[in-house]
Every structure is written in structure tokens, then in C-alpha cells.
Amino acid sequence: MRIIVPTALAAAVLLSACSEQTQDSAEVMAERAAEDTKANAEVVENAVREQTIEVADTVSERLKEDEKDDPNQGDGQLDGTD
């Protein structure tokens, strides 16, 4: 969003000196660029979500293995005494 606003302002200034057809073409181009940006953001969001799930699964597996290797995991209190 931070990139889109300055870009839109710059485009508005440039469009003020263009023909109507050029303005229409630029508007279509800007709309398509915004759609592409949104689609790319969704792809990145999905990839980050998938990687986060994989990391969480790995941490869970390692914690389970640690509990098997060391059954004395302390008293369960987060008071620094374990």
C-alpha cells in the first residue's frame, strides 16, 4: 500500500497532460498492475503460511523427541527454576 499511493500520485500528475485515450490506457494498466500485485501478495501469503506450518510441525516433532529423551521436563512453571 505504501508503494501504491506514491505511484498513483505520480501517475495522476503525468495523466493530467495526456490525451483521454492515453489516460484510459494508463488507467487500465494501473488497474491491471494493482490486480497483479494483489495476486502476487496472495501467493506470497500462501507460501509463508505453508512454511510456517512446516516449521511448527518440525518444532512439535522435536519437542516430542526431547520429551522421550528427557522425561524430567521440570515442573512446567515458567519461573526459571527448571
- The whole-angstrom separation of Cα 73 and Cα 56 is 20
pLDDT band at 6 (very low <50, low <70, confident <90, very high): low
Whole-model pTM? 0.49
Q: Which phi-psi region, left, alpha or beta, contains residue 74 (left: φ > 0; alpha: ψ -120 to 50)?
A: left
pLDDT band at 18 (very low <50, low <70, confident <90, very high): low
Q: Report which of residues 26 and 5 the model is more confident about.
A: 26
Tens digit of each residue's pLDDT (9 = 90 or more) over 41-61:
999 999 999 999 999 999 999
- The whole-angstrom separation of Cα 22 and Cα 19 is 5
